[in-house]
Amino acid sequence: MSKVRFTRLVAAAISVLALTAGARGAGAQDVLKIGVAISQSGTFVREGEFLRDGYQMWADKANAAGGVKIGDKTYKVELVIYDDASQAQTSAKLTEKLITEDKVQFLFGPYSSGIANATAAISERYKILTVDPMATANNLFTRGYKYFFCPAALGNTGLWPVVLLLQQVTPKPATIAIVGPDDLFPNNNAAGAKEKAEELGFKVVYTAKYPKGAPDLSTVATGVKSAAPDVVLASGYSQDSILLVKALRELQVAPKAIGLATAVAVPDFRTALGPAAEGVMGVDYWAPTLPYSDRYFKNSRQFADDFEKRFGHAPQYHAAAGAASGIILQAAIEKAQSLDSTAVRDAMLQISGETFFTRYKFMPDGTNSLATLFVSQILDGEPKSVFPADIAQAPYRYPAAFK
Amino acid sequence: MLGQTIVNGLLLGGLYAIAAIGFSMVWGVMGVINMAHGAFIMVGAYVSYFAFATLGIDPFLSLPLSMGVLFVLGYCVQRLLLNRLMRTSLLLSLVLTFGLDLVLVNIFLLIFSADLRSVNTFYTSRSFAIGPVLIPYVRLAVFVLALALAAGFYLFLNRTKAGQAILATSLDKETVRLMGVNPLRVYALTAGVGAALAGAAGTFASMLFPISPSMGITFIGSVFVITVLGGIGSIEGAVLAGLVYGLIQAFAASLLGVNFQEIVAFVIFLVILVLRPQGLLGKRFYGEVA
């Protein structure tokens, strides 16, 4: 009896000691508070949670390494996270609350440009630096915001890496056709691709927008066939891209290259097309095969493994972008040697380097001039990154020799 | 270019026709607008996909299988669910079949997930040339089979007792009772045959397009237009309207631009509704029995 009581007493004493020690530890180490108003319910729950877990992954890594260093002080990272329920207005309100009540020093942005549209106006008003890798709509960066940064590639650049690849090949193709569904994101991609292609001296000989969800694309393939371009670029989603490749094959349209704005690494793509997928190129934001490295992750494979260990499932590019945002913010804070938002903002414009997700060098408008999308090509039935050369797993095949 | 446009339109039109016949028949005979018809097509596509992916059965050979599965499904749905509503309002059958559509689509989402799947045979996407015009083998085969099925169904209706019973019931369901025909059984038969044709359309679609549980929705709009265009309940009307619809879309796409194809098709649909509301080959009595 008394033995049990004694054990309890000791246990209680130890836990009190541990608690006070913990409190003292926290007191000795300062806290860097970063606010996150993000979708944990509603339409964007899936993407929002990936992004949030990416931010958390960085915070864990930074804390495990001792925290963020400014002078001889180290700051422990604390994320203050609220659920914006996928509502822009809610997200804006929560952003204001994070700034005025929780007194966060910095912000990580929400998922999707639509919501960021509302929150960026608030954070800008309070001059609180925000890093948001998932706000990629071009119009967010034409408003003169000074405190809003996006490390990922912008929406209209979805086909640029394919166009840049085409500029390298010999003989350089002369003519390009650009087709895609009539929808906001694909239209952005297509317009961006057309502009870039013409800037680089290609001739865009055929463009077509088909209705979203069109059941058959043989009419588009017929149009492409009569224009006989060297290259076909498609700005759409998985399903219509599959349909398009099938229709082109049926009408024996064999351009020298087919480039899609969708990831050809998606398993559906290969299984749905079978041998017809061979040689098709597609653009991707991130893959575990990227060799870039940073202070926490020696490459993307390590990030993927660590993430899976921590959260129990494989990461998507949202998570990778989230973790990379933290690494970039930490670099800027340590460069500025200050927690002052304006000082860190100035440092953001000075730093450059690489994370496992992307290289970075920011422009005054908040965009990342080194943001990298990359091209994968199906080679011998497997998707391989082929461009840019420094991250290529295999040389690209051009012409693709479609049968 | 002109030849290719005609071929594109006609070949696709055959698939549209077979997708619409069952829907048109069910509407004509029973006055039921089957919102689950698109889901039936989807189920047919998955039957053929499943037979191909797991058992290695060529999709052309699994055609009877998907038609059989869908016949049973259509028959049971009518017998167990819809027949109970036949004496109430048309609106209720709309609600019920819409609900059925949701249930079927979500069951298939659970089983197969939203992944895009496709039947890839060695002859998929191959074609032969006649002069400058390319004809894909699969599309041609689908076209021929669709027309053959339509013809077979036409003969079934007009030459067999069961078919005659269906036609008679569509004319006057009170009088057929006096002739020893049980309308409820005829309804179930009609629904079964209509679903079997949807199953055939699904099998054909699986050979041409990537399939997913939500694929039915891309068909149901076209099916609706073709049914009204051809005349509700008219087999030959649905075939003619399917081909016309395919051609209209192909020509609109090549002359005006691809994003005009649906606009033009629906404008012509509206014009026909105004000028000839019974459809191209519709007869007045069809569809008026409900």
Count structural domains, chain A: 2
For residue B262, give the nearest of A211, A222, A251 by CB distance. Answer: A211
Q: How far is A333 from chain B (nearest CA, A)?
A: 43
Contact call for B12 and A216, based on CB within 8 A: yes
A222 touches chain B (CB under 8 A): yes
Omega within 30 of 0 (cis) for the link into A383: no
What average pLDDT does the structure give for chain A?
89
Same domain (yes/no): A274, A384: yes
pLDDT for B214-232, tens place per residue?
A: 899 888 889 999 998 998 8
pLDDT at A20: 46
Beta-carbon pairs below 8 A across chains A and B: 104
Same domain (yes/no): A172, A51: no
Q: Among the ranges A260-269, B46-55, B114-123, B211-220, which has the highest mean pLDDT value?
A: B46-55
Q: Which domain holds residue A177?
A: 157-284+373-391
What percentage of residues in chain B have a pLDDT greater than 70? 97
Residue A317 lies in a domain: yes
Same domain (yes/no): A379, A264: yes
For residue B258, give the nearest of A215, A219, A269 by CB distance. Answer: A219
Give yes or no for residue A6 having a pLDDT over 70.
no
Which range among A157-166, B182-191, B277-286 shows the weakest confidence by mean pLDDT?
Answer: B277-286
Start-to-end CA span in chain A (Å):
85
For residue B212, give the nearest of A239, A274, A276 by CB distance. Answer: A239
pLDDT for B256-282, tens place per residue?
A: 888 888 888 888 888 888 888 888 777
Contact call for A276 and B209, based on CB within 8 A: no
Residue A279 lies in a domain: yes
Same domain (yes/no): A145, A255: no
Same domain (yes/no): A55, A127: yes
Q: Give the model's confidence band at A13: pLDDT under 50 very low, under 70 low, under 90 confident, else very high.
A: low
Which residue reads 């890839």 in tokens? B120
What is the ipTM for the molecules in this complex? 0.82
Mutate to test the interface with B, among A206, A217, A222 (most CBs of B within 10 A): A222
Same domain (yes/no): A262, A347: no
pLDDT at A26: 43
Which residue reads 């059925």 in tokens? B100
Q: Give the model's confidence band at A8: pLDDT under 50 very low, under 70 low, under 90 confident, else very high.
A: low
Q: Give the model's confidence band at B66: pLDDT under 50 very low, under 70 low, under 90 confident, else very high.
A: very high
What percentage of residues in chain A have a pLDDT greater than 90? 67
User: Which residues of chain A are within 8 Å of residue B258 when distances are taken between CB atoms?
Assistant: 179, 208-211, 214, 219-220, 223
A46 touches chain B (CB under 8 A): no
Residue A52 lies in a domain: yes
Q: What is the pTM of this model?
A: 0.79
pLDDT at B260: 86
Let me know how long chain B is: 290
What is the average pLDDT across B87-112? Answer: 90
CATH code for the domain in which residue A275 is found: 3.40.50.2300
What is the average pLDDT across A96-120? Answer: 95
Residue A367 lies in a domain: no
Residue A225 lies in a domain: yes
What average pLDDT does the structure give for chain B?
89
The residue type of A232 is: V
pLDDT at B263: 86
Contact call for B1 and A249, based on CB within 8 A: no
User: Which residues of chain A are within 8 Å of residue B204 when distances are taken between CB atoms?
Assistant: none
What is the average pLDDT across A172-192? Answer: 91
